[in-house]
Amino acid sequence: TVVAVAFYMAHALVAVPTPTPHLAAPAACVLQWRLLGVGAVAGLAGSLVDSLLGATLQYSGLCSARHRVVSAPSPTVTHISGLNVLDNHQVNLLAALITAAATASAAAFAF
Tens digits of per-residue pLDDT, 49-62? 999 999 999 999 99
> Distance from CA of residue 71 to its chain's centroid?
23
The secondary structure of 63-86 as a DSSP string is ETTTTEEESS--TTEEEEE--TTB
What is the pLDDT averaged over residues 67-78?
93
What does the pLDDT read at residue 1? 64
- What integer pLDDT is reported at residue 12 of this predicted model? 66
Check if the beta carbon of residue 57 is closer than 8 Å to that of residue 29. Answer: no
Per-residue pLDDT at 17 exceeds 60: no
* pTM, rounded to two decimals: 0.68
- Note the pLDDT of residue 18: 53
